[in-house]
Amino acid sequence: MADKSNAYYRNERRRFALITYLLTAVAMIVALLEWCLFHFVDGINSFFNDYYWIGSIFVTIGLILLVVFIFFEVLRFNKMINWLFALLIFECVVLGMAPLIARQYRYQFLFSFLIWTIVLILFILIGTFLPLDLTLDVVVLFVLAVIAIIGAMYFLMLYIVFNMPYSFIIVRIFIVISIWMFVMYHAQIINGGRFAEMRSKDYFLGALMLFMDFLLMYLFSFQLAPKWSDACDKENSDFLVAFKDTTKTEEIERRQRENDYTEGTARVFEPEKDGTTTPTTTSLY
């Protein structure tokens, strides 16, 4: 009887893990297709470049919905609404990434997506076969995560205040290591057979957790994207950019020149005290 019970448990956990990983794979493929649409369709790309603040609204809504989804179990186990809630969270996060995707170099975001997908799979496998039960020593994980956050914040301030060379790379190392630990932890609670495990019907939450783990790593790729501070950044990171799209860079520089020209033209015609406008002799160039 005990053998039958153990066999049923193992089959149930395998089924749960398989469905969770399949949902994660589907989510990542759909996200990639949507991001390609945002990047390669000129009209959509221009929209998210001009109205980049919309992305922050979507991300905020998505994170709030995720918190509600985690703490209210009735939403996760109601078959009528759990898939809808998970889909809303997923789409809000994907749309929130749109301004960053639209700003990134043409093939850089695809290359980064591939690299971080491989990393995610690698650490899921490590967590699966790791003999150490991370679910039992979860306090150690949180202590290491807090230490990593402290180190990351310190080097982030050095980067912001002094533009210290390579300090942001150290920030990324601290945070990515903490993410890797939680990827292994999530893999263990999904696979089961450890001190703690997810419920065998919580497919959507497990898939969302792994997708968020991937997103946390993927976000660091956009530090190499064209940004407003490039002109004053002493640490030139162009050599780290793979598959750099020069046409996109030229387009961004053209827009910047147009903005500078417009601002310069506005300064040429300065109102006099009597209300009239007379052109000055100041040269734009």
Residue closest to 102 by CA, chosen among 152, 42, 62 = 42
Q: Is 133 left (phi over 0), alpha (psi -120 to 50) or beta?
A: beta
Beta carbons of 62 and 93 less than 8 angstroms apart: yes
Residue type, 200: S
Nearest-10 crossing angle of helices 2-40, 167-191: 140
Confidence label for 230 from pLDDT (cuts 50, 70 and 90): low
Q: Which two tokens stand for residue 164?
A: 């210290």
**Could you tell me which residues come within 8 angstroms of residue 153 by beta carbon, excluding any fewer than 6 positions away?**
none
Alpha-carbon gap, residue 200 to 128, rounded angstroms: 17
Tell me which residue has tokens 């495990």. Answer: 197
Q: Is residue 231 over pLDDT 70?
A: no
Model pTM score: 0.77
Residue closest to 35 by CA, chosen among 253, 255, 205, 218 = 218
Q: What is the pLDDT of residue 10?
A: 82
Beta carbons of 101 and 38 less than 8 angstroms apart: yes
- In total, the chain counts a number of residues equal to 285
Confidence label for 246 from pLDDT (cuts 50, 70 and 90): very low
pLDDT tens string 200-224: 888 999 999 999 999 999 998 887 7
pLDDT mean across residues, the chain: 82
Confidence label for 75 from pLDDT (cuts 50, 70 and 90): confident
pLDDT tens string 108-123: 889 999 999 999 999 9
Beta carbons of 96 and 59 less than 8 angstroms apart: yes
pLDDT tens string 31-70: 999 999 999 998 999 999 999 999 999 999 999 999 999 9
Beta carbons of 193 and 13 less than 8 angstroms apart: yes
* DSSP per residue, 142-157: HHHHHHHHHHHHHHHH
Q: Domain residues of the chain, as ranges?
A: 2-218
Beta carbons of 164 and 180 less than 8 angstroms apart: no
Q: Which two tokens stand for residue 137?
A: 């020593």
Beta carbons of 100 and 55 less than 8 angstroms apart: yes
Q: What is the pLDDT of residue 281?
A: 45
Q: Is residue 258 over pLDDT 80?
A: no
Average confidence (pLDDT) over 177-186: 91
